[in-house]
Structure 1
Amino acid sequence: MSTDLRQFFTTDHVPDKLEPNSYEKFFINALSYTSQKAIDDLTIAFENDETDSMIDDFGNVGLLRYHIFPDIVYLDLEQVILSAFFDKKDIEMKGFETQMEGLYDEQKEIFIEVEGIIPQLKNHFEPIYDEAKDECNDYDYDSNKSKNRVDYYNLGIINFLYTFIDFKNKSKARRFRKLYKKNYQIRAMLNGFGFQFIGGQFVRYDIVNVECESFDDYLDINYGVSNEALEIMANISKKERYNTELLQLEIERQLDEYACVTLSNHIINLLSDALLTENEVIM
């Protein structure tokens, strides 16, 4: 249905209800550089969402990263936000995300050597790994010191993330690094999504306690600046943009319905509180 209806819509006839620098508008803009199939697949997923709960998932960067993009459009989040410059085949995410128990050899009672870290990042990776190991140690709160022995419970709740972008097209990668250094908008976008430029590589790493936080809890992203980054990349790459009008309409519809439900629930709660107060006064 989406593919057929798309023919009947043009930008002139579809009012844009989203704020230009909003979270939703940024991701719609980024998706416009991926492929028409990816956009249509996501639009159909929104159309078929009878519970209208998908807008909650779409509004969470973590769920975009781990569910919506890989499961529905078969793209990594990084492939989406860099799609104004790179094709899908140009980018692959390397590294790992794991509970620390997956890096611990219980028989030998030691942490294993991690493979797959490229030479340019070895010196950066090792102290981060040591920090993750320290988080797994038993702790003496009386002396405020680590006991230098592993707490097996901590092994199950400490998650360690260390990933980096592997560019398959080296020529494009060199051009992109120059753009990154020249334009603060691209630096701000990647930094906002947790990437640092280390040893000529774009690296995302973190250590979290899963009982109280996740890897995407503290992102600091300016979506207006990120939209400017997309435009800068597209101006250099000359990438084609695909039609996202139906996708935007579906997102707007779910946002409107979500707002209505939220307002209705708020009014119901206010009335309920008022009635309870009145009953208490009468009694």
Structure 2
Amino acid sequence: MSTDLRQFFTTDHIPDKLEPNSYEKFFINALSYTSPKAIDDLTIAFEEDESDDLIQNFQEIDLLDEHVFPDVIDYEFEKVILSPFFDRNEFAVDGFETIIEGLYDEQNEVFVNVSFIIPQLKGVFRETYAEAKEWCEYSDETLSEPKVDYYCLGTTEMQFLYIKFKNKGKARKFRKLYKKSYQIRAMLYGFGYRFINGQFVKGNVRNIEIEGWEYPDLNFGVANEALEIMANVSKKERHNTELLQIIVERKEDDCDYKFTSNALISALSNTLKTKSEVIM
């Protein structure tokens, strides 16, 4: 992004079309604490995307997490939503996401033991792993013990992730802020993270054929307050996102227009077809 463009959009007032409590406004606000390069990279990607795939992916949390943030700006999802407090090198997201088929020893007909889980989270992991196993087993009165459904092994995915802080002092400060601020608790819970034994962890199971990861309902107005609370404590610098927001607004308007136009064309086509059939 050229300096001239950034200065233009910094000095001229641009009406804010996004609702302050909207999903899009939250993520644009979070991105403002990342880096100018990340913001520029995403802005340019939106500008160059003629298919509108990127804006549609941007509107889905799963696709933001799995594709948009890592592929376009080289950020993990958690490093975006926690960027008002932490620099990206101050923590890592550890754990794994795997199809359960990879954890089943078919030769010995047993699920393998996973031994590298940190002690504080072994209980949470056992619960999540047990749930994933249940998804892949079936039983009835004719069976002495549950049997494995091999098809389900290939369609059941387990997610077990936790945040591994590198800056211990800052981590302690954040944990205190988390306990004090219901907004931060609500935001992290809304993205699937629980605070257990001093660790931020999430464990989920899903059928990859029919569903994405489930997220509790999140009030993005409260989540925006969480960003502000973190930034007020950390004193993190914000970077300009006005041009990014303008492009997101324009892309969403274009998608809405295309959707409405296609719906009208389809309805008109169906009406004409029906009338033609009646005449015949």
Which TM-score band applies after superposition, normalised by the shorter structure?
over 0.9
State the partner residue of 1:126: 126
TM-score by length of 1: 0.93
Amino acid paired to 1:189: M
Q: Give how far 1:91 is off.
A: 1.7
Residues 191-206 of structure 1 aligned to structure 2 (within 5 Å): 191-206=189-204
Deviates more, 1:100-109 or 1:27-36: 100-109
Aligned to 1:237: 234
Tell me the equivalent position of 2:8: 8
- Check the 8 A contact 1:95/1:116 in 2, yes or no: no
Task: Give runs of aligned pairs for residues 177-196 of structure 1, distance below 5 A.
Answer: 177-196=175-194
For 1:53 and 1:128, the matched residues in 2 are separated by 33
> Which moves more between the two structures, 182-191 or 264-273?
264-273
1:152 corresponding residue in structure 2: 150
CA deviation after TM superposition for structure 1 residue 131, in Å: 2.3
Q: What are the residue-to-residue correspondences of 1:67-86 with 2, within 5 Å?
A: 67-86=67-86
Partners of 2:195 and 2:142 in 1: how far apart? 34
3-state SS of 2:8 partner: coil
- Please say if residues 124 and 203 of structure 2, whose CA atoms lie closer than 8 Å, have aligned partners that are also in contact: no
User: What is the CA distance between 1:168 and its match in structure 2?
Assistant: 0.9
**Are 1:2 and 1:40, in contact at CA under 8 Å, matched by a contact in 2?**
no
Distance 2:30 2:142 in 1: 47
Residue 109 of structure 1: CA displacement? 2.2
Aligned letter for 1:185? Answer: Q
Instruction: Describe the SS at the equivalent of 1:8.
Output: helix
Q: How far does residue 222 in structure 1 lie from its aligned partner after superposition?
A: 1.0
Q: CA RMSD in A?
A: 1.8
| 1:244-280 deviations in Å (ceiling 9; x for gaps) | 1111111111011111111211221221232123223
| Alpha carbons 1:91, 1:166 under 8 Å: kept | yes
Percent identity of equivalent pairs: 61
Q: 1:208 — aligned with what?
A: 206
Asked if the contact 1:17/1:252 (under 8 Å) is kept, the reply is yes
The answer for the alignment partner of 1:92 in structure 2 is 92
- The gaps in structure 1 that reach 5 residues or longer are none
Change over 3 Å in CA distance of 1:267–1:79 after alignment to 2: same
- In the alignment, is the contact (CA less than 8 A) between 2:97 and 2:157 conserved in 1? yes
Give deviations 1:114-145, integer Å, cap 9, x for gaps: 133111111222232222222221333xx498
Any residues of structure 2 matched to 1:36-115 within 5 Å, and which? 36-115=36-115
205-214 vs 176-185, which deviates more?
A: 205-214
Q: Distance in 2 between matches of 1:190 and 1:29?
A: 16
Shift of 1:3: 4.4
Counterpart-to-counterpart distance in 1, 2:2 and 2:50: 16
Unmatched segments (≥5 aa) in structure 2: none
CA displacement at 1:9 relative to structure 2: 1.4
Q: Distance in 1 between matches of 2:75 and 2:67?
A: 10
> How far 1:113 sits from its partner (Å)?
1.7
Residue 173 (structure 1) aligned to one of 159, 171, 174:
171
Give yes or no for contact 1:100–1:159 (8 Å, CA) kept in 2. Answer: yes
Task: Report the count of equivalent residues.
Answer: 280
TM-score, length-scaled by structure 2: 0.94
Return the alpha-carbon distance in structure 2 between the equivalents of residues 116 and 41 of structure 1. Answer: 36
| Residue 260 (1) aligns with residue 257 (2) | yes
Closer/same/farther in 2, CA of residues 277 and 203 from structure 1, 3 Å limit: same
Provide Cα deviations, 1:54-96, integer angstroms capped at 9, x if missing partner.
1101101111101010111111100000100011001211111
Q: Helix, strand or coil for the counterpart of 2:153?
A: helix
Q: Secondary structure at the match of 1:203?
A: strand
Match for residue 278 of structure 2 among 259, 277, 281: 281
Distance 2:219 2:35 in 1: 25
Distance in 2 between residues matched to 1:224 and 1:86, nearest whole Å: 21
In structure 1, what is the Cα distance between the partners aligned to 2:11 and 2:97? 41
